[in-house]
Amino acid sequence: MGSSNDSQVRLIVFGRQGAGKGTQASRLAQNHGIPHISTGDMLREAVREGTDFGKRAKEYMDAGQLLPDDVMLGLVSERLSRPDTSRGWLLDGFPRTAGQAEDLQGLVADGGITLAINLEVPEDVVVDRISSRRVCESCGTIYSVGDPSADSGKCAKCGGTVVQRDDDTEDAVRARLATYNEQTAPLLGWFEAQGLLANVDGVGSPDEVATRVGAAVDERL
């Protein structure tokens, strides 16, 4: 299927925690020569640089409040207007609601959004990946159950204590996934209704998944 704007690739990547979204988003952005724009990085940069929307965002963040949609959209608009987006961009962490998706579509009306990719990994696989994760309290090195350092509780790099983080337990992971599913399902439905959603099997090696993701994007271009 041909894109309405062949000069730019505008992508959004979704995936529950543990699905490998960060890895695939970085690879995809690199392959297409476009910036990988994560909401967290974008926020921190705008606040640090003191842009108009960055100042507004800081007020809400300092007060411990969620950013209103108009502030988030302003931040995104500022970031997407930079020279490094001339060939397109990849958004990670935005939009989070169908309303934000509509606003974004309006913002980039010229050429629109190329594709939203949803990395599908069964919940049990994700739970297993995250709940088997262990981390060194001293240096932050991550291990998996079965690794000698994870099983012994002693870090091979620094000798620190290797533990399971509280938010990596199965119950904690399932609670986060339930929240993600509840919030993201309507958003995926919105993209599907626009004919902009590609569900991609996220199970397999990073290379195997990257091949599937690349094929989904190439099919749209």
pLDDT, tens only, 15-47 = 999 999 999 999 999 999 999 999 989 999 999
| Residue 198 covered by a domain | yes
In this prediction, residues 103-132 reach a mean pLDDT of 94
Q: Which domain holds residue 213?
A: 9-34+87-220
Tally of domains within the chain: 1
Catalytic residue (choose from 133, 154, 174, 212)? 133
* Percentage of the chain exceeding pLDDT 90: 93
Q: Is the peptide bond before 35 cis (omega within 30 degrees of 0)?
A: no
Would residue 56 show up in a list of annotated catalytic residues for this protein? no
Report the C-alpha gap between 202 and 63 in whole angstroms. Answer: 37
Q: Do residues 86 and 111 lie in contact, with contact meaning Cβ atoms separated by under 8 Å?
A: no
Instruction: Write down the catalytic residue from 44, 58, 176, 212.
Output: 176
In a domain, 72, yes or no: no
Q: Is residue 57 a part of any domain in this protein?
A: no
Q: For 148-202, what is each residue's pLDDT tens digit?
A: 999 999 999 999 999 999 999 999 999 999 999 999 999 999 999 999 999 999 9
Would residue 106 count as lying in a domain?
yes
Mean pLDDT of 98-105: 94
Which of 96, 174, 212, 220 is labelled catalytic? 96
Residue-averaged pLDDT of the chain: 93
Q: Is 133 a residue of the active site? A: yes
Structure tokens at 22: 């960060």
129 is catalytic: no
pTM for the model: 0.87
14 vs 50, 131, 191, 200, CA distance in Å?
A: 29, 21, 11, 10
CA-to-CA dists, residue 174 to 33, 124, 134, 149, 187, angstroms: 35, 9, 17, 26, 20
Spatial distance between the Cα atoms of 102 and 144, rounded to a whole number of angstroms: 40
Q: Which helix (H) or strand (E) holds 181?
A: helix 170-193
Write down the residue that tokens 């399971």 correspond to. Answer: 164
Q: With respect to residue 22, please indicate whether it lies within any of the assigned structural domains.
A: yes
Establish if 216 belongs to a structural domain.
yes
pLDDT of amino acid 109: 82
Indicate which residue of 10, 16, 21, 27 is catalytic.
Answer: 21
Could you please report the per-residue DSSP string of 203-214?
-S-HHHHHHHHH
Q: Is 211 a domain residue?
A: yes
Catalytic residue selected from 48, 82, 157, 165: 165
**pLDDT above 60 for 5:** no
Verify whether residue 27 is a known catalytic residue.
Answer: no
**Collapsing DSSP states into helix, strand and coil, what is residue 197?**
strand
165 is catalytic: yes
Of the candidates 87, 84, 90, 70, the residue with the CA atom closest to the CA atom of residue 29: 90
Residue 132 sits in a domain whose CATH number is 3.40.50.300
User: What is the CB neighbour count within 10 angstroms for residue 65?
Assistant: 9
Q: What is the pLDDT of residue 7?
A: 74
Tell me whether residue 178 is in a domain: yes
